[in-house]
Amino acid sequence: MTEPVSGGSRPEYGSQWSDSCESNPNTSDCVKNKRESMKHGTYILDILQNTPKDQRTILLIRHSIRESFAGVPDHLYNTVGITPEGSAVAREFGEAIKEIAPDIQLYLSHTVAKRAEMTARSICEGYSSDNQSRILGCEPEIQSPVVNLEKLVEARNRFGWQELLRRWLEQEISEDVLWDHKKYSDEILRKLLSYPAVRPGDMLVVVAHDITLFPLVFSLFGKPVQAIEFLNGVVISADGNVARIQFKNADLVCETERPIFSDE
């Protein structure tokens, strides 16, 4: 398996590659209007309403509304946080989880990016009561699909982001630029489902980026979505043997089952 580059120059999730592209110009006006009218986090919360509360529940979501990348050098993108509105929306999201599942133990994880950490802490603030929520930091670690930043910049400048994304999901981008999307998705699911701290009846919210979710949704459901809304992502409910994975947006409702991954 191709490994991501390491060290201080490694681009983490949601750098400029997809966070800077919020919509597909070919999307219908109807779908665009629906997206704009939906409150951030609504799709995840809709799924949670019918998710068994006695199983392990894992949310892998995009961060909340972020500050602009304008004028920020590429290597400092991880320092970009969320806006005051983004903080408020994330707190409301945490409050909504509390209403749906008031008795769970909530764990929150995030990537190294400031906007992911700020989102996790805001969700925690919204949910927190009686020591029922806990920030785990960057564990389980969600690695970046970016293998080589310079080559990715070259590919983006050559193709544009939407075409680069299409080529990646169609396995037309070399693995020395981006992880193979299927291998990457399998690795993400393995880490999430094998994380030992989350027990039946607990919920783990992992705040990442849309570039984390694009390959996962495509690998699981065969749907090449080109936009992931803030605070949207996948919901995983797992018993001892099977994980039920769901995703929903303005024009898709997807569900599948996978066997639980083992570290053995």
What would the pLDDT profile of 42-82 be if each residue is shown by its tens digit? 999 999 999 999 999 999 999 999 999 898 887 788 899 99
| Residue-averaged pLDDT of the chain | 85
pLDDT value of position 57: 97
Give yes or no for residue 217 having a pLDDT over 50: yes
Q: Residue 84 is encoded by which pair of tokens?
A: 């005051």
Q: Residue 32 is encoded by which pair of tokens?
A: 């665009």
pLDDT value of position 262: 57
pLDDT value of position 212: 94
pLDDT value of position 10: 35
16-259 CATH pick, 3.40.50.1240, 3.55.40.20, 3.30.70.20, 1.20.1630.10: 3.40.50.1240
What would the pLDDT profile of 240-251 be if each residue is shown by its tens digit? 889 999 999 998
Q: What is the mean pLDDT of residues 156-185?
A: 94
Q: Taking each helix axis as running N to C, give the angle between helix 161-169 and helix 210-221, from 0 to 180 degrees, rounded to the nearest 10.
A: 40
Sign of the torsion formed by the C-alpha atoms of 41, 45, 47 and 48:
positive
Give yes or no for residue 6 having a pLDDT over 80: no
| Residue 100, CA distances (Å) to 71, 73, 161, 246, 249 in order | 40, 40, 37, 17, 20
pLDDT value of position 150: 86
Rounded CA separation 198/56 (Å): 7
pLDDT value of position 132: 87
**Domains of the chain by residue range:** 16-259
In this structure, what are the phi and psi dihedrals at residue 242, rounded to the nearest 5 degrees? -130, 140
Residue of 27, 26, 38, 13 lying closest to 232 (CA atoms): 38
Q: Taking each helix axis as running N to C, give the angle between helix 210-221 and helix 181-194, from 0 to 180 degrees, rounded to the nearest 10.
A: 100
| CB contact set of 99 (below 8 Å; sequence gap of 6+) | none
29 band by pLDDT with thresholds 50, 70 and 90: low
Rounded CA separation 212/19 (Å): 11
Q: What is the mean pLDDT of residues 133-142?
A: 94
